[in-house]
Chain A
């Protein structure tokens, strides 16, 4: 049936109270409070200005009084006839002049500074306001209308408070600035209008954006999955490549050894070839049978490649080394090829 939301109402009253306290306003709600607060804030910089200005003014006043005071004495430069107290030496007068001059310079500088500072402050504030507005617009585009309307109102009130404070302060200097300020505020208002238009369009835009978001999420997820798959595959590939390189290295070692063997074998064969050529080209200096036989046998021996000797011969291997008459001393018996009887 009916729902009693009185408690809810009291609770919201409390929240509003605490919120107002946080904003620094005792009584006065919402926008009014923020405007009051800003009005309170803005006199403070005003105070800065005015205190500095007042300082300068007081300094100038003091100097004026001082000068006025000593004027009589100053003017009475040529009347040494006057009292001793009022007498001023020239040096004193010079000093007074110098001091006055420096003081005037500092005062004018201070005034200049105040003026430029005023201008700088204006510009910095303008920039700050603009930055705030951009942030608000960004937030708008993220489709949060409520807080931004409040800040927009507060910035608008800030601007409003800013302009009168500046105007009242330094009229001649800041005359051109307020003109700039409203001129700038006009296009800003235009964008504000667009912002408000965005607000009105946002329900549809919200929907569109939500749909786009969904789509983007889906795409990102699929991309992510693909990337993960690819990662897995790359890992596998790297592993396989490791194995591959291992094997290749093994094979390399084996091939090296084979290579060595082959080289040795070719050398042996070459030497063997040479031996046989020598034997065949030498002819038969010993007994022909022997020679031919030996030649034949030697060749057959060599052809057979066996180490068995086919005809007996005295132990050719000459431990005594002499009397090897049927051997050509030019022939060097290769004990490897054949055995000497």
Chain B
């Protein structure tokens, strides 16, 4: 997860990709004429990186006629250059050598997502020699793009093998030293690529005694080595690019997931977070199953078919950009508003059409004609816009409806409200046991999540008898009790380390939106769903960031280690050399962040920007 940078990381990565596709010559946007037609070969990692950033149309604009997976059967296309974008693993290298031997393409532009080792490069050289194809290998590049950017200011490490760097992988008890090293190396490699693409050397701060510290030490070492190596340094002036205007160095805050385990379990209420939690949402693409309308199937005819539809939620989607952080009722309302305005515009166009139709018969009213021509031209020019709007509205209507169904089915609003209350330590009006034992409130997972949040946030552990009761209720509801075991252990450790994190004050107020929505007769019949509005709260991650950026003194963050890869001598102190507050920060959670925290950080940024003005 990242906060805003001068030229956002998404733009930078996109620029880098486009340059790569243009044979690593900087891409000039206004170039006329046809681009050189080429073929793009990628592996699954490459696919994950490219798909949120470039659509198929954009690829076509860059001249990619065909894009294929590396490990598929590919026919030879003898007079076309091929651009490869793969990870430098053994199997990929073998397949590439095979391609060279089989003389599939005219020329090869090899791009490796992260740096390739010398021995593997020699393997390729060998194969190229064997196939007498050395001249065909036109360029070989290390792209340093081993991360996936999802938003302007958010990135994740990987999607294909995210199990490798997940919380479970890092925190399970039977991990060996060497496995841990592998995980840490993967994380550090991706972070290093991120900073190379960003073109800045950060100042690193991390808490002591955690996996985050391991990552920080390794990353610091790697950056330091790279800076020392003056010949091959990746951070020299020309790589900073024209977009880098801030002269201050960014702050990298490395936190471990263990400081706050309740937030990932928390039920969500903002649009993006809900879509991610409830629907199948990966790499900015949501997959919906739609059942065909019940009322349309005639009696005795074919059965209901479920259509799978997938939608891309991209930065071009204005509605999404505006509302992805809003609480769900607001979203519902906004969709409604958009729909209304669209209908009004549509009516306008129809009216014009009918007028034109009438106009064709009556020749006398020329003045009306000229007036209407102007209106018509404006309507025609705005037609594509209108169509696009329609498409977006349809999209969001479908998505929001799906989300709403889930909410109603699982009573997610109840869960959300209850968890908020637990986390802010206000009094609970309903007993936890009631909710757990309620058979139509939520899946067993939901109940488990609720109970775990309760357990984590409780000042003292519930008594044995209570615990037994809860356990029984949970097992009756069909839950697996293993997570509870883990959280118990975790809590024991966390108690030894520090005080449990507090979540700030928050209240949830039911608002009177329900009535308004009902009155306008919209599709979003949110009856029975509470309309809850979030009040501003600061999650632990945001608090830590605030302290570190503003250089506030706080017992929680004073003990954080300080790394500056540009300093000549590393030292173990926690005293920051730089006393000025930071303008840019990147927050990375070792073990996985989530959309709730992302949203919280974005809100924090907005607030602090407002406050500064």
A residues in contact (CB < 8 Å) with B = 1-6, 8-10, 12-13, 15-17, 20, 27-30, 146, 203-204, 207
Contacts and interface: CB of A to CB of B under 8 A. Distances in A.
Given A9-B121, A12-B121, A29-B129, A2 B16 contact: yes
A2 B20 contact: yes
Chain A contact residues: helix, strand, loop or mixed: helix
Contacts of B115: 3
Given A1-B197, A20-B129, A13 B134 contact: yes
Nearest to A205: B178
Contacts of B139: 4, 6
Contacts of A30: 126
B121 A1 contact: no
19 contacts: A1-B16, A1-B144, A1-B234, A2-B16, A2-B24, A2-B142, A3-B232, A5-B121, A5-B140, A9-B125, A12-B118, A12-B125, A13-B134, A15-B122, A16-B122, A20-B129, A27-B132, A29-B130, A207-B177
B130 A3 contact: no
Residue from A15, A17, A29 with most neighbouring chain B CB atoms (10 Å): A29
Nearest to A15: B122
Residue from A2, A16, A146, A203 with most neighbouring chain B CB atoms (10 Å): A2
Nearest to A13: B125
Nearest to A204: B178
B384 to A, nearest CB: 36
A204 B121 contact: no
B89 to A, nearest CB: 17
A6 B125 contact: no
Contacts of A1: 16, 144, 196-197, 199, 234, 239, 241
Contact of A16 (B125, B138, B140, B145): B125
Contacts of A204: 176-178
Given A2-B111, A4-B139, A29-B126, 4 more contacts: A5-B140, A15-B122, A16-B122, A207-B178
The 3 closest A-B pairs by CB, nearest first: A29-B126, A13-B125, A9-B140
Interface string B100-119: 00000000000100011011
B141 A5 contact: yes
Contacts of B137: 9
Interface in B194-231: 196-197, 199
A27 B129 CA distance: 8
B143 to A, nearest CB: 5
Interface of B: 16, 19-20, 24, 111, 115-116, 118-119, 121-122, 124-130, 132, 134, 137-145, 176-178, 196-197, 199, 232, 234, 239, 241
Nearest to B120: A12
B98 to A, nearest CB: 13
A203 B116 CA distance: 21
Residue from A1, A6, A203 with most neighbouring chain B CB atoms (10 Å): A1
B102 to A, nearest CB: 16
B16 to A, nearest CB: 6
Nearest to B198: A1
A272 to B, nearest CB: 94
A47 B169 CA distance: 61
B127 A29 contact: yes
Contacts of A10: 134
A144 to B, nearest CB: 13
B34 to A, nearest CB: 25
Contacts of B241: 1
A186 B138 CA distance: 46
A28 B126 CA distance: 8
A20 B122 CA distance: 12
Contact of A5 (B19, B20, B116, B128): B116
B201 to A, nearest CB: 14
Given A15-B122, A16-B129, A28-B130, A6 B141 contact: yes
A183 to B, nearest CB: 34
A3 B141 CA distance: 6
B282 to A, nearest CB: 27
B129 A3 contact: no
B107 to A, nearest CB: 12
B121 A3 contact: no
Residue from B124, B129, B143 with most neighbouring chain A CB atoms (10 Å): B129
Given A12-B118, A207-B177, A3 B142 contact: yes
Contacts of A28: 130
A12 B110 CA distance: 15
Contacts of A8: 118, 121, 140
Contacts of B234: 1, 3
